[in-house]
A and B are shown apart, each in its own frame.
Chain A
Amino acid sequence: MLFKRKPSRKKVTRKKKTVRKKARATKSSRSKTKRSTKRQAGLLRRWWRGLLAVGLLGLLLTFAYSIHLSQSVRVAFDGKRWSIPARVFARPLELYVGAQISDEQLRYELGLLGYRAVSKVSDNAQWSESNGVYQIASRAFEFWDGPQWGQKLRVVLQNDQVVELDDAGTRQSLDIVRLEAPSIGSIYPAHREDRILVRRSEIPDHLVAALLAVEDRRFYEHWGIDPRGLARAMFNNLRAGRVVQGGSTLTQQLVKNFLLSSERSITRKVNEALMAFIVESRYSKDEILEAYANEIFLGQDRERSIHGFGLAAQFYFNRPLHELRLHETALLVGMVKGASYYNPRRNPERAKTRRNVVLTAMADQGYITQAQAERAKKAPLGVTQQGKVKDHRYPAFIQMVRDQLRRDYHDEDLTSEGLRIFTTLDPWAQRQASVSANEQLSLIESQRKINKGTLEMAMVMVSPQGGEVRALLGSRNPSSAGFNRALLAQRPIGSLVKPAVYLAALAQPGRYSLTTLLNDKAVDIKMPNGSRWQPKNYDKKEYGNVPLYQGLMRSLNLSTVDLGLSVGLENVVEMVEKLGITEGKAQPYPSLLLGAVSLSPVEVAQMYQTIAAGGYRAPLRAIREVLDAKNQPLQRYGLEVTQVVDNKPVFVLESAMKQVVDQGTARGLKRYLGENPNLAGKTGTTDDLRDSWYAGFGGDHVAVVWVGRDDNKPTGLTGSSGALPIYGQTLRRLGYSPLMQDPPSGVSYEWVDESADLLAGPNCSESIRLPFIQGSEPKRSRACAGGGSSRSGLLDRLFN
């Protein structure tokens, strides 16, 4: 509770005082009555009795009214549950020798934390760099598993890697250090008030001085109302011919903000004064100051209102209040007079003038020296750019966090209890994804003469083994809080379903391997409703006998239909569900084999996560931990995995998906990532080119990209011309770790013929090395026609 009631003794005395005063007044009136003439006495007595009755009644009413006012003060102050929205944090950056971090990323992350770049580090939250050697003075931070102490670090980067990490003072090497978790937003309630609570002790002295200097000189002397201040204000206003100074004390301003409506009337003014008086009698000056510092309105951020200096410091300077310097606090105090009129982002000149008025007043009243004031006046405003306004940076991700929290918490707890939510967001990955998406979509639109801005997109990036959501884009506009396509857009997934079909087959190694021949031939299937289903390949051709891996690699529809029908539609449905799709979404119709199932990008990411993790499904998570306002752990959302498919067929499938990138429909990735990307993926395109999908993974990510139009009209884009470039560009910017190569036990690589179900030698022409579950490899070998000199080729020639 912010306010503690003062000991009740004081209240009682004050009540007594009032009562005594009133008793004296009554007595003196009575003595006057005695002096009146006897003749009139009777009449007067009667008249007086009436008056007395009215007076008593009035007194009673006044008394009742002040009790009522006092009551509302008490309710508002003591009972005020400061609604502190839950704060949401991104993942902390882990520093250790070997960590993949570029200069650009480190600088970005330090910027997110509001650390200042300086030439020599002298204080907390500063950093400097020379010749790749960083000195970083980190802030202390309360993590879930204890505090990280602020300390001076020395970090050396080379080739986008941390090569040295030690204590800058002692030069003792450090094994692993977490920088603090960047705050990325808050979950505030319907009335959109947001604040970061500050204690009296956290309010810098120069802020208090500035407040006193311009808003209420006699704050520590008056009783809530300051007649001298009021008179001075009136005089100054009269002299200026307009309102240049308000006469309200801080207490009055607080009461006004806290308790009363903004209506302008005499009654309200009287009430305000009365209540200010009551507040002063009940609470100490420090308590009043603290309440004021947390309540005062300091700006509007779209639909969210910025209350209190704590949040304002973050909002305008991206730093905690106690780190602000003189010219920065002076600016905030100047804004008390009119947060929108003196908005430093919209009206920088006006704000600067006002700031300097505050500084002058502080110097005039002796709080600072003239020299200090002059130096501060020369400083730039120092506010962060509008584009860096925090709560709009990750609306899509925050929505996912909120959805996940709603399963366990009431809305009210989220918006008022000051919870601290630690999430999985990787702000650097998020930024690279967002920049790449915009760049690529604009490029596609201009190259293909598509109307600017008509393409939309969504993207999800998760960690393969843990299912932690690293990045989430719900729109190409990173600050759009509108329709969140990543979570909510349900679109047919087209060929993205194919890996499930092939996995259902490969899970039966007695029947299928990567070289099993499929029949790529037109089919005509009668549907239960009487219609006919006549799927075609994308190029309308038929390819006859095609080895299984090529069916996936080239995304051949007819091969896939052949395989799916032979595996059994029920088995395919079961596999889709095992991979993490809600039961009932995939229906056992033949069209399922070509992606006639509508899923959101996040659902697709779950499917591919299971594949990327070797058959271990980890439910996607956006949250790691929740702490209460006092940093006590409330809940952990720990890692949980369930094996749903044996890892051997998954490994085999993964190598076919690697072929998709190496020489199949996703080979375009090489434009972004070089000749040997060592990644697995799948493109997806739906009827009439309405949806363009790409899903892929490597050692450290699973990513799903969707590109399409909100009105569901054709875009003219395939998976490889729409979604793939966004994935490729994101990885190019972000960097990635490649797939792990080692096959699990029970799987071995064989050289096989590229297009027949035959073993071949490594030097045979048209041969390829593919993994096989033991016992599923081709039984027959081919004679090496290309004159290969490999042993198996030699053996083939000798024995065949």
Chain B
Amino acid sequence: MLSGCFSSVKGPAPVEIRGDQPARVYPSRKSDLKVQPLERPSGVAIAKAQPNRAVEVLVRRADDQKRDGDLMGASASLERGLRIAPNEPVLWNRLAAVRLDQKRFSQVEQLAKKSNDLNPSSRLRADNWDLIANAREALGDKRGAKAARSKATTIQ
């Protein structure tokens, strides 16, 4: 029920997104940190419907936070996104990835499966199976990991 995290959290990571449309997260903090292009499932496009601009910004912020090691901040940003777009498979996928970094392996599989249940792109689906494979491996389930890995490859 509770995540049981007790370490302290930094403030929101500064976000500055490149592109024609200058997107800004509020609050903005002065910083010259530039955001890298999205890593792994990089091809995942979030539909351009308006509410999703907010979601997209939260995903990018979570990516930054995750990269900076602020895993609780990343969780918080993704959960904030899920309140706005609960059926967005990208959000569930990213949350699974954060849980993997947090070593909460059983949740990784649950969240990745949830993402897969929401009709994601094949690329995202493959990434979800990858996450599941990693989690199973960490839990010592070698056979399960292998099965998941092969699913990931088949999709790709």
Q: Which of A151, A176, A408, A640 has the most CB of B within 10 A?
A: A176
Nearest chain A CB to B21's CB is how many angstroms away?
Answer: 8
Contacting residue for A640 out of B1, B10, B58, B86, CB 8 A: B1
Interface residues of B in 59-107 (CB under 8 A from A): 72-73, 75-77, 79-80, 82-84, 86-87, 95, 107
How many residues of chain A are within 8 Å of chain B by beta carbon?
50
Residues on A facing B (Cβ under 8 Å)? 94, 96-99, 144-149, 151, 172-178, 408, 463-466, 468, 614, 616, 619, 621, 624-625, 632-643, 647, 699-700, 740, 742, 744-745
Q: Is the CB of A466 within 8 A of B86?
A: yes
* Minimum CB–CB distance for A292 against chain B, Å: 34
| Residue among A173, A177, A464, A465 facing the most chain B CB atoms (10 A cut-off) | A465
Look across to chain B and name the residue whose beta carbon is closest to the beta carbon of A178: B26
Q: Which residue of A lies closest to B79 (CB)?
A: A639
B-chain residues with CB within 8 Å of residue A145 when the two chains form the complex: 9, 11-12, 72-73, 76-77
Q: A145-B76, A636-B76, A744-B119 are in contact. Are A96 and B54 (CB under 8 A)?
A: yes
Nearest residue (CB) in B for A464 is B86
- Find out whether the CB atom of B83 lies under 8 angstroms from the CB atom of A642: no
Q: Inter-chain contact count A-B, CB under 8 Å?
A: 134
> Are A463 and B24 closer than 8 Å at their CB atoms?
no
Of B27, B54, B111, which contacts A97 at CB under 8 A? B54
A616 contacts B54, CB within 8 Å?
no
Per CB-CB distance, the 10 closest pairs between chain A and chain B, nearest first, are A98-B51, A146-B11, A96-B54, A98-B50, A638-B3, A465-B86, A176-B54, A146-B12, A149-B27, A175-B57
B138 interface contact, C-beta 8 A: no
B49 engages A98 (CB within 8 Å)? yes
Partner of A647, one of B10, B77, B117: B117
Q: Mark B105-126, 1 if CB is under 8 A from A, else 0.
A: 0010011011001010000000
18 A-B pairs besides A463-B86, A745-B119 with CB distance below 8 A are A94-B83, A98-B50, A98-B51, A145-B12, A147-B11, A149-B26, A175-B54, A614-B114, A619-B1, A633-B9, A635-B6, A636-B3, A636-B76, A637-B2, A638-B3, A638-B79, A641-B111, A641-B114
A99, A144, A175, A625 interface centre (most CB from chain B within 10 Å): A175
Contact present for A176 and B58 (CB under 8 Å):
yes
Does any Cβ of A come within 8 Å of B22's Cβ?
yes
- Which of B24, B53, B82 makes the CB contact (< 8 A) with A172? B24
Whole-angstrom CA separation of A20 from B57 in the bound complex: 73
Tell which of A147, A149, A466, A635 touches B2, judged by Cβ atoms closer than 8 Å.
A635
Query: Given A466-B86, A637-B1, A174–B9 Cβ distance below 8 Å?
Result: no
Chain B residues with Cβ below 8 Å from A98 are 49-54
Chain B residues, Cβ within 8 Å of A621? 1
* Residues of chain B contacted by A639 (CB below 8 angstroms): 75, 79, 82, 95
Asked if residues A175 and B83 are in contact (CB atoms below 8 Å), the reply is: no
Q: How far is the CA of A145 from the CA of B5 in the complex (A)?
A: 13
Q: What are the residues of chain B within 8 A of A643 when measuring CB–CB?
A: 110, 113-114
Query: Which residue of chain A has the shortest Cβ distance to B17 in the bound complex?
Result: A175
B25 and chain A: residue at smallest CB distance: A175
